[in-house]
Amino acid sequence: MIEKQYIDIFHQYRDTIDSKSAAGMNSLRDKSFEAFQKQGFPTKRMEDYLYLDVAAEFLPDYALNIHRVPFKGNPYVAFRCEIPNLTTNLYFVLNDLFHKEHQPRVEYPKGVFVGGMKDFAEQNPEVFTKYYGHIADVNNNGIVAFNTMFAQDGFVIYVPKGVIVEKPIQLINILKSEFNYLVNRRVMIIAEDDAQVKLLICDHTVDESQFLATQVTEIFAGRNAVVDYYDLEENSDKVTRLTNTFVNQQESSNVLVNNMTFNTGVSRNNYVVKLNGEHAEAYVCGMVIADRHQYVDNFAFLDHLMPHCTSTQLFKYVLQDEATGSFCGRIRVEKDAQKTMAYQSNNNLCIAPTTHMYSKPQLEIYADDVKCSHGLTTGQLDEDALFYLRSRGIPKETARLMLMQAFAAGVLEHVRIDRLKDRLLDLVEKRFKGESARCGNCAVCK
């Protein structure tokens, strides 16, 4: 039983884990440990994990940086992940350690905090304990419980009432190690009433070691708040990434969550969004391009709790070679959530007959005055469209590329940063051409 190995590690190093973290994070470890002992990792016997053996991903002998050994060097020099013509405020998490030694000074509006979770928890203990772990429920997810047991640092954005952060914030996650490595990351975005902020996360892998990354993200959007959360996976095929993103929305808030998987080994992304205030709007989107033996699994659950809310789920997969994709989308409209508008769509393109795609769209509607729909399509390239393009003198490979790009465009249209959208279109084209999807002038990727 692989869980026992990590239970023993937790027992052995508990004092060290606490001493290298903050009191606010330590306060949830006992609860998380009890929950993990009861649940363990999710198994294929669970309906939502039919196609992924999570415990098997933890079987390799991974190292953990419990002693918080710092990264040597300056990532601001070594790692450049730039999007042309898009200026961002840039931060780094190296494995699961927030890097603040070479952090440039940024002038934010009064009250805004952007930086390490440990620092935020120590400087703002009351605010931190008010939010940390409140929507990331350890009792219903063994991976969340595991992450909460071991996470010692993370990344926090706090935007107080009425403040708008104009410039996008960019966080680069770097996986770097000479041996197999396990990292546990936390991200928390707190946008109070009438606040606005945009976060772009880019995942990169430097070394050829095997990595396992768990990540728990909590997004709190107050009344009239606007939050954009973009997540780009550009890892190696030796990476297993298990993420859980939780969103809590209040009245008239607007939240966009957009994931782009360009390269990975095994990826499981969970999204749980609760619309807790009237007129809240949520957009949860995903674009997957997978080949070789890659596996990408997305699970999205949008829960409408109040009237007059709107949600959109849109996930698209392009699978090649022997890649496998899985999507489970669930929309629940509670009894009191009248006048709900909720739309779900999953479209999948299987380029090769050796690919596998599993999809399960679901609607649970307990209100009687709603507009809800879900749609699912899985197939190969349209031969009639391909013939039409070729009949106009377009070479076969170019015609195929054009059709695949058109297929992907729907998800990219939900990107609300124009220069980021242009860059993503370029990365999609490179990926379809079989080139490495590299983000800007990354010194590591070159």
Q: What is the DSSP string of 121-167?
A: HHH-HHHHHHHTTSSS-GGG-HHHHHHHHH----EEEEE-TT-B--S
Total number of domains in the chain: 1
Q: Whose CA is closest to 303, among 226, 362, 390, 239?
A: 362
Task: Give the model's pLDDT for residue 81.
Answer: 60
Number of H helices, E strands in the chain: 11, 19
**How many CB atoms are located within 10 Å of the residue 172 CB?**
25
Domain hosting residue 324, numbered range: 2-442
Instruction: Name, in order, each residue with C-beta under 8 angstroms of 187's C-beta and a sequence gap of 6 or more.
Output: 154, 155, 156, 171, 201, 215, 216, 217, 218
pTM of the predicted structure, to 2 decimals: 0.94
Task: Give the model's pLDDT for residue 119.
Answer: 96
Averages of pLDDT over runs of 10 residues in the chain (446 residues) are 94 97 97 96 88 93 93 79 71 94 89 97 96 95 97 98 96 93 98 98 92 98 98 94 98 97 95 98 96 96 97 95 95 96 94 93 94 87 70 75 78 88 85 63 44
DSSP state of 25: H
